[in-house]
Amino acid sequence: RLVESSVKLDVPRSVIVEVLSDAQDIITRYLTSDTCRWRMKVNIGDMKTMLCLVKGVLGTKPVCRLSEKEQDFLSTVLIKAFLQSVPSPHDSYRTQSLKPIQFLTCEGRPVSHTKIINGVLIEAPELPTYNLNTAVRNLKVALYNVSM
């Protein structure tokens, strides 16, 4: 909502982008610093602890109106997505950092329809859903992610 309300102001967008970028840098530096009280060590190998942590976060979102069953399901999906983003020792060809996770929301759909999709996901509901009977070879895709 901060970005949406900022755009409505009579301020050049370049200034808005710079201010929001600086704010994000300040917040990120604080959250990664040793003085941040919100940091806690979590053993990601202990699924019970991970499940409690995620359910604890989801439980603080009363507006979502998630039932206990929906919280359990969504917690499990979130943990699976996180674990799939953690590099394995066999990924020596990759940099040893977390792979990005992108969340797409579909309002009105049941929580039970939540799923993890590996690879690139582009939301384009206006595209027709029919299948072409032609084999596609050497398909090249360019993906751009632009903030604002």
Mean pLDDT of the chain: 77
pLDDT digits over 42-76, tens only? 887 888 988 998 898 888 887 778 889 999 999 99
Asked if residues 81 and 70 have their Cβ atoms less than 8 Å apart, the reply is no
Confidence class for position 106, pLDDT limits 50, 70, 90 = confident
